[in-house]
Structure 1
Amino acid sequence: MKVNRSLLVVCFATLFSIASAQQKSPFKPQRALLDSIQSNFKLADDQYKYMATLLQPEQFPKTFHPETGKTETSNSGWWCSGFYPGTLLKLYAQTHDEALKAEANRILAVLAQEQYNTHTHDLGFMMYCSFGTANQLEPKPEYKQILINSAKSLSTRFNPKVGCIKSWDSKPSDFLVIIDNMMNLELLFWATRETGDSSYYKIAVTHANTTIKNHYRANYSSYHVINYNAETGAVQEKKTAQGFANESAWARGQAWGLYGFTVMYRETNDKRYLEQADHIAGFILNNPNLPADKIPYWDYNAPNVPNALRDASAAAITASALLELCRYSDKSSASKYFKAAESILTTLSSKTYKAQLQTNGGYILQHSVGHFPAGTEIDVPLTYADYYFVEAMERYKAFAGKM
């Protein structure tokens, strides 16, 4: 693979300029919410130590079923496997509880084999949220190599004719790409910075550009799945598999896109991605079906609004994304984003969504929706809801140190 030195100079200059611009914050966090966040971290510390006692050595938490009191788990190959160690490590960074770090290290050893998994697009979720977080806290050569191998594995799923990384394996005539895949591109940007190999960067940018072209409607809502022709790159079908209908706006899908294009702007400094993120944020925050507390229904077009189930996972992802996007957007938009994130965090910190100690299978948040049409993970806790809730709280707390 050829190193593009000029591209690397742009990458590093971009990161430096963005970081420099972030030294001072115009936002003043609410003291009451900061206090709630500290309380949430303490609860989460205890909850995750309790969760660890419910797992067998090779198991990763997946969800918990309140009606039966049973924990559902997965193996390391499940797309959510990286969220458990990632959350443990993020909590460790806040509480310095060595028990969390020890459990994270234990489960990371089980997860490491997935660095060679070429049958999934979710290596960003699986490996960057876990080993990437570990490497940020305590850089190690072995973490770096695992992440590089993971980026190599992810890159094998890229088709230059389509201009995308394949999400789901299917029949040969299909090339399925889901909006969630925007979340896995951050791993590729990291790989270019670490190795000097610009091919990872180019794959990420090409995938994002193709996604803007084909995944988004005129109102900046997103389809869930695009089915491409693998040989010609032509769009064969547009679907929303996990939403109410093909033309509906599945809430978590909108959150994935918002977060993903915010990362794209951070990593490239290309205004197209900032504009895309702003447009997506506008669709979400101006949506007539968005409740006042900013916790979305599982689909913005669910037929039984306002009695449809809410999705805490979509809310947590949105809050985390908005707390980064507000650093880059114009003053008026940034203020709106920051206040919306505050509203989400306040609601998620309430008794309605936050679990009590040693309940909820050890999860922090209640009331997420995984795959409503399939009848799975409905109104239950989910690992990624917790992960992005912790990240959002992390990001909000960081503003207190930049006033």
Structure 2
Amino acid sequence: MGALIEDNFKQAAKQYKILMKVIPEDKLPQTYDSINKKVVSYERTWWCTGFYPGSLWYIYEQTQDPVIRKEAERALNIIAPNQTYTGNHDLGFMMFCSFGNAYRLTGNPKYKEIIFQSAASLSSRYKPAAKVIQSWNSSKKFDGPVIIDNMMNLELLNWVSQNGGDSKYQEIAVTHANTTLKNHFRPDYSSYHVVDYNMNTGEVIKKKTFQGYSDESAWARGQGWGLYGYTMMYRFTKDPKYLKQAQNIANFILTNPNLPEDKIPYWDFNDPKIPDVPRDASAGALIASALLELGQYTPEPEKAKYLDVAKQIIISLSGPKYRSAIGENGGFILKHSTGALPLHSEIDVPLIYADYYFLEALKRYQDWYL
């Protein structure tokens, strides 16, 4: 595994040196359009813009390549203005995956200031009456939507409170996590994608999906967000109910009869057309990273089970079926992710966050299990 991880980081550096040459100066890469042979890039406020600089910092950490670091710093400059953005809940994805890794590796106080301001901006979306951070703004479709993905953005709030910031940020994170635990999960510990709240009363209006197969289905990446989110909440709080929740979500995923042999999930666990449906490598990478952390807090034999599946996922994603050859796929590392199948968007393509969580899983395996 040590040699495999080293090989993956070397390959990632080569791929990202290709990718960095074909993206616009003011946008960040999201995916690759194989028909038109071009990288698709988005404006700085798109929820995924933190994953490219975050991936570069993970690669730099392993390779110490100055070209990679310079590009990481350039990408940070593009998204720095997001620190005051309040248009949605994705400040954690945008600003902690990026500036969080940059600060961890450099100790640059400017980066810490940006992280703190980002937490303040995210907390502006907290609705005290409903005890949640509102994910998206109200629309014709939803009154006060909260999505399971929002669990991931709580890491930013927890970190700031525990690194010299106001304790209110962690209090918001804990309250949101508790409300989500109460309302987002079914008896089998699978998760709804969207819970719509009356933000004035906290009443649940409806439980729906936006990216999954159906309202009652288990959208694969959503299950990964929940697993990662509650594992992370246990890291910061040591509250046993979060650990138990993470273990229950892991059990749902790992014992699901529709989890393929190579452990890379189909895009939704309940699509009736399985196995003739797309995989989601991003969900696989995310789940692997989460399982590696969950194993840190769990005794045997569960720890061995989590580690075994995470290792299988890493090996699968490192093989030719999922990992790009040098020079292909626009410079992205992984193939076969699914963004939003019901919206006919990003189906069976590379996605920047698949690369990010794959690199994070590699680092975690190297740090904790080698």
TM over 0.5: yes
- TM-score by length of structure 2 reads 0.98
Distance 2:303 2:164 in 1: 34
Contact 2:146–2:195 at 8 Å: present in 1 too? Answer: yes
Question: 2:221 maps to what in 1?
Answer: 252
1:282 aligns with 2:254: no
Among candidates 178, 181, 191, match of residue 209 of structure 1: 178
The residue type equivalent to 2:168 in the other structure is: S
**Aligned-partner residue type, residue 136 of structure 2:** W
Q: CA deviation at 1:196?
A: 4.3
- How far 1:141 sits from its partner (Å)? 1.5
1:165-204 alignment runs, 5 A limit? 165-171=133-139, 174-204=143-173
> Does residue 326 of structure 1 match 2:295?
yes
Q: Aligned match of 2:210 in 236, 241, 260? A: 241
Once the two structures are overlaid, the 10-residue window that deviates more, 67-76 or 382-391, is 67-76
State the partner residue of 1:356. 325
SS of residue matched to 1:78: coil
Cα deviation, residue 57, structure 1: 0.8
Partners of 1:160 and 1:393 lie apart in 2 by: 38
Q: Deviations over 1:240-276 (max 9, x none)?
A: 2100000000000000000000000000000000000
Please give the alpha-carbon distance, in whole angstroms, between the structure 1 residues aligned to 2:211 and 2:60. Answer: 33
Structure 2 counterpart of 1:292, from 261, 281, 285: 261
Deviations 1:178-226 (A, max 9, x none): 0000000010011112234210010000000000000000000000000
Q: Partner of 1:147 in structure 2? A: 115
Q: Which runs of structure 2 are paired with 1:68-83 in the superposition (5 Å)?
A: 68-83=36-51
- 1:327-379 per-residue CA deviation (whole Å, 9 max, x = no partner) reads 10121111100000000000000000000111101100000000000000000
Give the 3-state SS of the residue equivalent to 1:150 in structure 2. Answer: helix
2:337 aligned with 1:368, yes or no?
Answer: yes
Contact 2:227 2:290 in 1 (8 A): yes
SS of the residue corresponding to residue 73 of structure 1 reads strand
Question: Does residue 1:41 correspond to 2:36, yes or no?
Answer: no
Cα distance change of structure 1 residues 253 and 149 upon mapping to structure 2, 3 Å threshold: same
CA contact (8 A) 2:192 2:209 kept: yes
What's 1:229 paired with? 198
1:306 correspondence with 2:275:
yes
The unaligned stretches of length 5 or more in structure 2 are none
Q: What is the one-letter code of the residue matched to 1:57?
A: E
Amino acid at match of 1:212: L
Which residue is 1:114 aligned to?
A: 82
Deviates more, 1:268-277 or 1:168-177: 168-177
| TM-score between the two structures when normalised by the length of structure 1 | 0.90
Q: Deviations over 1:131-190 (max 9, x none)?
A: 000000011121111000000000000001111101011239711100000000010011
Equivalent-residue separation in structure 1 for 2:215 and 2:136 (angstroms):
18
Q: Distance in 2 between matches of 1:399 and 1:144?
A: 26
Unaligned runs of 5+ in 1: 1-32
Q: Distance in 2 between matches of 1:324 and 1:253?
A: 18
The one-character-per-residue Cα deviations of 1:269-292 (angstroms, maximum 9, x if unpaired) are 000000000000000000010011
Q: Shift of residue 36 of structure 1?
A: 1.6
The 2-side partners of 1:214 and 1:262 are apart by 18
TM-superposed CA distance for 1:59, in Å, is: 1.3
How many residue pairs match? The answer is 369
Say yes or no: does 1:218 pair with 2:193.
no
The one-letter code of the counterpart of 1:101 is R
Larger RCO (alpha carbons 8 Å, 6+ apart): 1
Q: Who is 1:9 aligned against?
A: none
* Deviation of the 1:34 alpha carbon: 2.2
For residues 283 and 368 of structure 1, the distance between their equivalents in structure 2, rounded to whole angstroms, comes to: 21
CA RMSD of aligned residues (A): 1.0
Shift of 1:98: 0.5
C-alpha spacing 1:267/1:140, structure 2 compared with 1 (3 Å): same
- 8 Å contact kept, 2:116–2:165: no
Tell me, in whole angstroms, the C-alpha distance in 1 between the residues paired with 2:238 and 2:230.
11
* Superposition deviation, residue 303 in structure 1: 1.6
Structure 1 stretches of 4+ moved >6 Å: none
1:127 to 89, 95, 104: 95
Residue pair 2:144, 2:197 contacting (<8 A) in 1 also: yes
